[in-house]
Amino acid sequence: MVKHHGVPFLEKKQKELTVNQSNINDIKKILGTPSTKSKFDNDIWIYIERKQTQSNLKSLGRMKIYKNDVLVLEINKMGILKKKDFYNKDDMEKIKLVEGTTSSGFKRNSFIYDFMSSMRQKINDPLGTRAKKRKEINQR
């Protein structure tokens, strides 16, 4: 059993697109609408093709990816294809992810920390009833 997701025959179809020559209409005619769009200086259109099959019995029939292609197109403001990048499963396995972490810039005594803490308290207890109950219990 094969599960298919995205644009069929993406690798073959992307070869019909020419940088600095193909336009938005050509792209839509060949590939259809993109899986994902984003907008920076130029439009970025992303097309995906993914095929999975059920693996053998000893791995309990889990789905195994045997095709995972991604096409990234950059289109300028005039609607012309400026850049085309095609990645297959092997290319993606070579991409290394950074393991670093980002530290937050909020310290316990900063204004932003105090403000966010008070907002969280107001969200959790909008009428202030918990604080009143605690005060009454402490007075007894």
Contact 76, 42 (CB under 8 A): yes
d(CA 106, CA 114): 10
> Which pTM was predicted?
0.60
Annotated domain spans of the chain? 2-90, 105-140
Neighbours of 88 (CB within 10 A): 14
pLDDT score of 101: 65
Q: What is the pLDDT of residues 11-56, one digit of tens each?
A: 899 999 999 999 999 999 999 988 888 876 668 898 988 888 876 6
Mean pLDDT, all residues of the chain = 77
Q: Span 60-76, mean pLDDT? A: 81
Return the bridge partners of 76, or none. Answer: none
d(CA 68, CA 50): 4
Q: Which of 8, 49, 51, 56 is nearest to 30 (CA)?
A: 8
pLDDT of residue 66: 73
